[in-house]
């Protein structure tokens, strides 16, 4: 799955065909730019999801083009607060509190459903996301991988600058940026340890069943 920057407070992640994902991301950027040019403000998250859903759906209507081979997740924050939408290749889209796509999505969804996302802090969310990535990657544990993570937040120097206008910005304070490296490394370390401990417990449980 690849993640892309759309605007200061928006992000899009896609899974599927890489060229389609790049095209879909570029289109989302164009939609955000067009909205800002016409209305002098950032596009609402729901409106961006609606426009991209309509764009994807249009590619299912004509024999001269094929449907997009990607599923996209759009995240952002507007005056109504944060929003998260998943767009299917058919053009259908839904709003979520937590969502997953790509390989291992079923395992990730199962773990997400166990969480009370509304009560998690940013730091807790990063650690849970890292743990879920390790759980979802369990079927391919022999393959090395690297976790990359971003968030959309008001709790950063960049976000504070945006809110106060100290950099000449007109945003509402939400900023899409990389998760701090030290926090990400700590989250990855704890996630790996937690998954290993769960595996050890499962092995002990299986051994006890065999002994019985």
Same domain? For 31 and 67 the reply is yes
Same domain? For 116 and 135 the reply is yes
* Cross-strand pairs, 15: 71
Alpha carbon of 21 to those of 25, 41, 173, 207: distances in Å? Answer: 6, 26, 28, 45
Same domain? For 5 and 46 the reply is yes
How, if at all, do strands 93-95 and 150-153 pair?
Answer: unpaired
Judge contact between 129 and 149, C-beta under 8 A: yes
Same domain? For 172 and 212 the reply is no
Q: Is 197 exposed, middle or buried (0-12, 13-18, 19+ CB in 10 A)?
A: exposed
Residue range of the domain that includes 64: 1-102+152-176
Model pLDDT, residue 138? 72
pLDDT, block means (10 residues), the chain with 212 residues: 69 94 95 92 93 97 95 92 95 96 92 93 94 84 82 74 48 82 94 84 66 56
Q: How many domains does the chain have?
A: 2
Backbone torsions φ then ψ of 100, nearest 5 degrees? -145, 150
Judge contact between 163 and 154, C-beta under 8 A: yes
Same domain? For 126 and 172 the reply is no
Instruction: Tell me how far apart the alpha carbons of residues 64 and 60 are, in angstroms, rounded to a whole number.
Output: 10
Alpha carbon of 127 to those of 84, 133, 179: distances in Å? Answer: 19, 10, 11
E runs forming strands in 138-185: 150-153, 175-178
Same domain? For 158 and 112 the reply is no
Judge contact between 24 and 49, C-beta under 8 A: no
Model pLDDT, residue 167? 43
Same domain? For 86 and 131 the reply is no
How, if at all, do strands 2-7 and 10-16 pair?
Answer: antiparallel
Backbone torsions φ then ψ of 93, nearest 5 degrees? -145, 150
Same domain? For 138 and 109 the reply is yes
CATH number of the domain residue 84 falls in = 3.60.20.10
Same domain? For 44 and 122 the reply is no
Tokens of residue 4, six digits: 């892309």
Same domain? For 118 and 68 the reply is no
Same domain? For 95 and 112 the reply is no
Model pLDDT, residue 211? 57
Model pLDDT, residue 170? 44
């Amino acid at each position: 799955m690849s993640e892309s920057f759309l605007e200061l407070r928006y992000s899009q992640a896609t899974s599927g065909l890489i060229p389609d994902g790049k095209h879909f991301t570029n289109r989302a950027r164009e939609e955000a730019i067009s909205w800002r040019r016409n209305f002098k403000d950032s596009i609402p998250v729901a409106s961006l999801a609606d426009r991209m859903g309509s764009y994807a759906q249009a590619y299912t209507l004509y024999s001269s083009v094929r449907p997009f081979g990607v599923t996209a997740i759009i995240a952002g924050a507007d005056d109504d607060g944060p929003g998260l939408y998943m767009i299917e290749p058919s053009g259908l889209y839904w709003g979520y509190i937590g969502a997953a796509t790509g390989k291992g999505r079923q395992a990730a969804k199962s773990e997400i459903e166990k969480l009370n996302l509304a009560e998690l802090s940013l730091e807790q969310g990063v650690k849970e996301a890292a743990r879920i990535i390790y759980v979802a990657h369990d079927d391919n544990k022999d393959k090395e991988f690297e976790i990359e993570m971003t968030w959309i937040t008001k709790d950063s120097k960049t976000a504070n600058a945006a809110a106060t206008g100290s950099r000449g910005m007109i945003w509402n304070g939400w900023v899409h940026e990389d998760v701090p490296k030290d926090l990400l490394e700590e989250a990855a370390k704890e996630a790996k340890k937690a998954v290993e401990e769960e595996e050890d417990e499962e092995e002990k449980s299986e051994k006890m069943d065999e002994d019985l």
